[in-house]
Amino acid sequence: MSVLAESISGLTVIITEKPDAATRIAGALAERPRKVASRGAYWYEFERGGRKFIVVPAVGHLIALDTVKDKSGWGYPTFATRWIPAYEKKGGEFSERYYRNMQDVLAASPSAEVIVATDYDTEGSVIGYNIISRIAGRADAGRMKFSTLTKDELVEAFEKRDEALDMGQVESGLTRHYLDFYWGINMTRALTTAAKHANEHGFALLSTGRVQGPTLAMLFDRELEIRAFVPKPFWQVDAGLENDGRAFTASYGRGSIWDEDEAKKIRDECSRAGTRAIVTIVEKRKYSQAPPVPFNTTDLQAESYEHFHYSPKQTLGIVEELYQAGAVSYPRSSSQKLPPAIGYKKIISALSKLSAYKTLANALAKRKELIPNEGSKTDPAHPAIYPTAETPDTRKLSTAQKNLYDMIVRRFMAVFAEAALREATTATFDIAGHEFKATGHTTLEQGWAKFAGKYASLEEDTLPDLKEGEQLLVKTIALLAKKTQPPARFTQASVLRAMEDKELGTRATRAEILQTLYDRNYITGRTIEVTKLGEAVTSVLKDYSPRIVSEELTRKFEEEMEAVQSGGKKRDEVLEEAKNILTELLAGFKQNEPEIGQKLLAGVQQARDEERAFGKCPNCGSDLRVIVSKATGKRFVGCSNYPKCSTSFPLPQKGALRKAGATCKCGLPMILIFGRGRRPYRACINPSCRGKESSAR
């Protein structure tokens, strides 16, 4: 530690959230910062304005909440907590080198100026505050605030840094950590203890969380709606028409027909030989379709899933990489607004240097004024997500990074463009005294859609040029028997938007919450289904402690955390209220442990059976299951009807397995294979088929 070994007068220590951020900040503030390796990690040293600097990175949370162990073991409720180094908790071991480096730097410079340069949100504020208070033993520090890791913004953030931490953010973030910990530890103990009462020889770790519970309950409610739905039959009469060689379809004008005899009568009357369709009305209406609004986190995750099938967690991780490289702004934002201070023209000028966007960016640059079409949602800390003027070398980006960078760039340009000019045409026809209608939409001027490219969803279904009074040949009359459909299952895109609408979680936590529900085997599939285990956990909570999974209680605490941030409430006040509520709710839960345990045990067993079943045997129709050979220890898919049926298929011997919920073209089930250090992939269980897909969800 060459700088620390010298006199520490005139020393500034800058704390960052991640190593990449340390590299960007050091590179922005110094021409040639010196990289100092230590314990397999590193920090940076340099001089600026005659002053010495050290930029030392954390790696996310270096301090974590833990329980205070007592004689009660797994008793609940418990609220005795302590902060410990994150490396002391399972899964956090990798952070020890960063903790030790941070400890050494801060201990060796007790009189240095310290600046927190973690992400400017509640999580980043908690990371910085815990380092300052629990490692450095300080009450406060300076604060850099930025939304991009570009050189210009980092220099400005340094020069205009606040002299103190934003304690509103800190207190709100600490409140969230305590609340989530109280819910997580107590509900894990309650559910697991109940399940263990029902089966002393087995052990199933069950858990839920303050936001996970209501989210799972929302998904389960949709599942119950689908199951309870009774389809109602109806009929539709369509006429196949032709005009100047162009075929199109017109539908019965009064819509769905609920009586089959009436539908058949209409069909028969319209099907008589020589029947013509007379054009009675042609209405054309031009309208403008406004540009989209800038991306916030939820919108970006939803569209990423719709276009690329990247899970919300994957999307956030990919865009975080682009942010750390300085290519895009901070990806955790509720805002749909782009303030002029970000420098519209500078960004567009930079984008024009990339061949893929040159023509479009130059077209925008010629406009006298750049005014973005903004949404209503705001964020006090960050603007909407946008590309920066420090454009990346796209040749060095991964496919996923290229995809999301392209989507962000095109959305950014589209919000400054003109509205699209569209035309809607509605044509009405008389066929044997019955009214039929056809509608069409066409784009007259692309406007913003030209900039959005493949991400623009403008419906194009142009009708032929029709004139009132002309007669068209009726080519076909079709009677279509249909049924009303149940509510659609949630996708990862729609559930994120529903969580946002219901104020469940935050922009930063929703993706993780959804991923946790998948990881705990509470939900499955691209169109989300609640598993038997998810059903069991949700059902017992709804029956015995409904407030635990209520949206109202979750929303109440979200509002109170906002009040803590604004100074309207104290952290201790909110936490005391939470303790009282949990104590009351868990008392009723504890009284019914035996009954709850039986229901949970049944759910666990059903979930295990469900997880082991990988489809139907192609030979006898029995269940295919994952079996581990007692003789060799190897796993394979075999028929549950063994020894009567000896059908079997080999499996990879490494990596976790899960049903893919899909069938291969060959008719056999697909499986998900989770390998360490690689993305999950799909494969057919039939080795001679080798059917595979590229991604898991």
Closest by CA position to 142, among listed 332, 41, 309, 12: 12
Closest by CA position to 549, among listed 560, 564, 539, 561: 539
Q: Are 337 and 383 in contact (CB under 8 A)?
A: yes
Q: Calculate the dihedral angle through the C-alpha atoms of 369, 372, 373, 375, rounding to the nearest 10 degrees.
A: -150
681 is catalytic: no
**How is residue 422 written in tokens?**
């569209």
Q: Report the distance separating Cα 262 and Cα 237, nearest Å.
A: 11
Provide the pairing of β-strand 113-117 with 11-16. Answer: parallel
Cβ-based neighbour number of residue 359 at 10 Å: 10
Cis ω for the linkage preceding 643 (within 30 of 0): yes
Cβ-based neighbour number of residue 117 at 10 Å: 27
List 98, 305, 310, 330, catalytic entry: 330
**How is residue 292 written in tokens?**
């989209």
Alpha-carbon distance values, 230 to 30, 56, 490 (Å):
68, 62, 19
Q: Report the distance separating Cα 18 and Cα 248, nearest Å.
A: 58
Identify the DSSP state of 93. G
**How is residue 626 written in tokens?**
């994952």
- What is the DSSP track for 348-366? HHHHTTSTTTHHHHHHHHT
**How is residue 354 written in tokens?**
């990339």
**How is residue 644 written in tokens?**
């009567």
Instruction: Encode 526-547: b = buried (16+ Cβ within 10 Å), e = exposed.
Output: bebbbbbbbbbbbbbbbebbee
Provide the pairing of β-strand 613-616 with 529-530. Answer: unpaired
Closest by CA position to 507, among listed 265, 176, 117: 176
Q: Calculate the dihedral angle through the C-alpha atoms of 293, 502, 319, 54, rounding to the nearest 10 degrees.
A: 110
CA 470 to chain centre: 53
Q: Is 283 helix (H, G, I), strand (E, B) or coil?
A: strand
Q: Report the distance separating Cα 494 and Cα 504, nearest Å.
A: 13
Closest by CA position to 128, among listed 97, 91, 84, 164: 164
Provide the pairing of β-strand 51-57 with 11-16. Answer: parallel
* Positions of E strands within 468-516: 471-483
Q: Report the distance separating Cα 29 and Cα 153, nearest Å.
A: 11
Q: Are 574 and 564 in contact (CB under 8 A)?
A: yes
Q: Tell me, what amino acid is at 459? A: E
Q: Strand pairing partners for 361?
A: none
* Orientation angle between helical segments 532-544 and 167-198, nearest 10 degrees: 100
Q: Tell me, what amino acid is at 474? A: V
Q: Strand pairing partners for 477?
A: 239
Q: Tell me, what amino acid is at 504? A: L
Alpha-carbon distance values, 616 to 90, 621, 635, 639, 666 (Å):
39, 5, 18, 8, 13
Cβ-based neighbour number of residue 584 at 10 Å: 12
First to last CA, the chain: 46
Closest by CA position to 12, among listed 109, 157, 143: 109
Instruction: Give catalytic residues, as residue numbers.
Output: 330
